Amino acid sequence: MVDTAPPGPSDAPSYPQPRPCPYQPPPAYERLGAQAPLSRVTLFDGRAVWFVTGYPEARQLLADPRISADRERPEFPITAPRLRAEVSRRFILLSMDAPVHGEYRRLLNPDFSRKRIASLRPVVQSVVDDHLDRMLEQGPPADLLRDFALPVPSRVISELLGLPPEDTELFQRLSGRLLRAGSADDAQEAARELGDYLGALTARPPEGPGPGLIARLAHDEVATGRLSHADLVRIALVILLAGHETTASTITLGTVTLLDHPEQLARMRSDPATVPGAVEEILRCVAVTDLAGVRVATADIPVAGQIIRAGEGVLLSSTMANRDRRVHTDPDTFDIDRTGRHHLSFGYGIHQCLGQSLARMELEIAFSALFTRIPTLRLAVPVDRLPTRPPSSGAIQGFDELPVTW
Lowest mean pLDDT among 24-28, 126-130, 271-275, 396-400: 396-400
**Burial class of 259 by CB neighbour count within 10 A (0 to 12, 13 to 18, 19+):** middle
Does 1 map to a domain?
no
pLDDT (tens digit, 9 = 90+) per residue, 291-346?
999 999 999 999 999 999 999 999 999 999 999 999 999 999 999 999 877 899 99
- What's the CATH code of the domain at 277? 1.10.630.10
Prediction pTM value: 0.93
Q: How far apart are CA 168 and CA 175, in angstroms?
A: 11
Q: What is the mean pLDDT of residues 207-221?
A: 81
> If we measure between CA atoms, which residue out of 311, 261, 257 comes closest to residue 284?
257
| Radius of gyration, CA atoms only, the chain | 21
Per-residue pLDDT for 365 more than 90? Answer: yes
Does 3 map to a domain?
no
Tell me which residue range forms the domain holding 75. 9-405
Which pLDDT score, from 0 to 100, does residue 11 have? 75
Which pLDDT score, from 0 to 100, does residue 3 have? 41
Which pLDDT score, from 0 to 100, does residue 308 have? 98
CA angle 182, 184, 186 (to 5 degrees): 60
Does 2 map to a domain?
no
Identify whether the C-beta of residue 56 lies closer than 8 Å to the C-beta of residue 46: no
Does 391 map to a domain?
yes
Residue 391's pLDDT band, with cuts at 50, 70 and 90, is confident
Does 331 map to a domain?
yes
Longest dimension (CA), the chain: 66
Number of domains forming the structure of the chain: 1
> If we measure between CA atoms, which residue out of 399, 392, 401, 343 comes closest to residue 62?
343
- The amino acid at residue 211 is P
Does 203 map to a domain?
yes
Which pLDDT score, from 0 to 100, does residue 66 have? 97
Does 323 map to a domain?
yes
Output helix, strand, coil percentages for the chain, rounded to the nearest 5: 50, 10, 35
Does 174 map to a domain?
yes
Q: What is the mean pLDDT of residues 58-73?
A: 97
